[in-house]
Amino acid sequence: MAKKTIRTIPQDRTPIPEQAPEVRAKNFDEVTLGYEVEQALNESMRCLLCPEPACVPACPVSIDIPGFIEKISNKDYRGAYDTISQNSLLPAICGRVCPQEDQCEMVCPVGETLEPVAIGRLERWIGDLAIKEGWASIPYSKPNTFKIGVVGSGPAGMACAADMAKAGCDVTIFEALHKPGGVLRYGIPEFRLPNSVVDTELENLAKLGVKIECNVLIGRLFTIEDMLEEMGFDAVFVGTGAGAPKFMGIPGETLNGVLSANELLTRCNLMGAGDFPRHDTPMHLGKRISVIGSGNTAMDAMRVCLRLGAENVTCVYRRTEAESPARLEELHHANEEGIEFHWLTTPIEILDDGEGNVRAMRCLEMELGEPDDSGRRRPIPVEGSEFELETDMVIYAIGTNPNPIIGQTSKLKLNQWGYIEVDENMAGSIAGVYAGGDIVTGAATVILAMGAGRDAARSMKAYLGIRDSERACQIQDDGPMNRLFGIDIEERNFARIRIA
């Protein structure tokens, strides 16, 4: 076959079928419907199969992207799934929620001239096909005697648990809520990530032998120290997630009708408040809803409100669309569905209707000044620009503070902001305790959390002296010094004496 060039590949990115905006804004069914096989094959032809692909290092978990796309174009779909599975536990999830335009698709050379290869859509297609066909990459792993505890069943915990189970460990995940999945369950709404997809990935974990115990709040029912000292866990991974929602500290934040996006999403996604009173959890949705912030959580909150029947949903963000941290696709979808955007606007007070409910929000218009520490231009209030925005529900989606429970109940060292401090191996200050995901970095993405979980698993295996076959294969044999009896010395083969 002749080498593909930018001129010979299909020029247009294969469009993905979507529900029409006016239809989908009234239901919770998935917005993007996914490729059919012909569409996936067509899109797979657009990959140039670069010998030194830029997309692989741009992927937080280094998926062999040209490798799996080539297998798709050869109609070896199972092979494509196996290729992805070597690095990613959750293709059906990450294909949906990764910010591909900032990662693999951003560096795709096709994107220099045309639209980049739709890597995320292909990944999702393979992930969905695997679910449909019941494929799972369950390698045989020789059981060892190590017991691993994982705190939190979100993407970081799931990834760490899977790797440790594949290494033969006895893994238990502890989840504080009554259903597992973390942010994939309570946070990301059904129309973006169906719960059935999360369930399948959790079932795959169960097939690996991972146990999940819900309704266990670590720190309060028992502590991380208890796990190591009394319960026989050899290592613990802490992936407790983003934590406590931030408020701004402006007047009126305790009025009824003011809530965090976390609360809205938890009520709706986890508790079924959209189906009140058949489900017991109420929502008491407003009619004219303002959402403060413009990240993915803000987009999710706004689109949930629309689907629950809000008449008007407005986004209030102090910078411009260009600085909005949301995925492009989410912004685009929100726009299409009729969300109103007030860019360069910041609230300064939430006003009372006289009965303890929200009546309006007093706002200031902003303009962009000099760049700040984040490199983004700093918004500055425009003098005399104060105005009232009529609203009966205000939702905060401006990020999170670290959850205090681990700090309150463990000696694990935290950094100055209250996040768990880890070294380059994801190891915390207590021997055998690793941490990763949002509780280490602050709010980030599913794929970064998953990557952190895998990094931690790698270090955990080294700490426990479990030979990491994956790692051993990756190391080039460049001399006897690097290998002792076939064992990579970087594995820091700790001799651990277990006291029975």
Give contact residues for other proteins (rule: CB under 8 A).
Answer: 172, 175-180, 186, 202-203, 206, 211-217, 220-222, 226, 230-231, 241-245, 247, 249, 253-256, 259-260, 262-263, 266-267, 271-272, 275-284, 356, 396, 403-405, 408
CB of 143 vs other proteins, minimal distance in Å: 15
CB of 431 vs other proteins, minimal distance in Å: 20
CB of 5 vs other proteins, minimal distance in Å: 48
Q: Which is nearer to other proteins, 138 or 206 (CB)?
A: 206
Nearest to 63 by CA among 447, 490, 453, 435: 447
Backbone angles phi, psi at 33, to 5 degrees: -90, -15
- Residues forming beta bridges with residue 396, ordered by sequence position: 260, 292
CB of 275 vs other proteins, minimal distance in Å: 8
Query: Strand 244-245 and strand 400-401: pairing?
Result: antiparallel
CB of 218 vs other proteins, minimal distance in Å: 10
- Residues forming beta bridges with residue 368, ordered by sequence position: 379
277 preceded by cis ω (within 30°)? yes
Rounded to 5, what percent of the chain is helix, strand, coil? 35, 20, 45
Q: Which is nearer to other proteins, 44 or 172 (CB)?
A: 172
Nearest to 360 by CA among 301, 306, 294, 290: 290
CB of 85 vs other proteins, minimal distance in Å: 20
Q: Which is nearer to other proteins, 230 or 367 (CB)?
A: 230
Count of alpha carbons within 13 angstroms of residue 160, beta-carbon side: 36
CB of 170 vs other proteins, minimal distance in Å: 10
Structure tokens at 174: 């502890």
CB of 176 vs other proteins, minimal distance in Å: 5
Q: Which is nearer to other proteins, 108 or 212 (CB)?
A: 212
CB of 260 vs other proteins, minimal distance in Å: 4
d(CA 199, CA 193): 11
Q: Which is nearer to other proteins, 46 or 179 (CB)?
A: 179
Q: Which is nearer to other proteins, 273 or 466 (CB)?
A: 273
DSSP 12: S
Nearest to 35 by CA among 134, 132, 111: 132
CB of 233 vs other proteins, minimal distance in Å: 9
Dihedral sign for Cα 394, 395, 400, 403, please: positive
Q: CB under 8 Å to 78, separation ≥6 — which residues?
A: 133, 135
Q: Is 18 helix (H, G, I), strand (E, B) or coil?
A: strand
Chain centre to alpha carbon of residue 6: 33
d(CA 291, CA 271): 21
Q: Cα separations (Å) of 341 from 120, 170, 191, 422?
A: 27, 49, 21, 39
Q: CB under 8 Å to 146, separation ≥6 — which residues?
A: 164, 168, 169, 170, 234, 235, 464, 466
CB of 210 vs other proteins, minimal distance in Å: 8
Q: Which is nearer to other proteins, 70 or 263 (CB)?
A: 263
Q: Which is nearer to other proteins, 147 or 483 (CB)?
A: 147
d(CA 460, CA 148): 9
Q: Which is nearer to other proteins, 409 or 493 (CB)?
A: 409
Q: Which is nearer to other proteins, 263 or 470 (CB)?
A: 263
Q: Is 88 helix (H, G, I), strand (E, B) or coil?
A: coil
Nearest to 147 by CA among 432, 425, 412, 471: 432
Q: Which is nearer to other proteins, 23 or 206 (CB)?
A: 206
Dihedral sign for Cα 328, 334, 338, 339, please: negative
Residues 285 and 310 sit within 8 Å (Cβ to Cβ) = yes
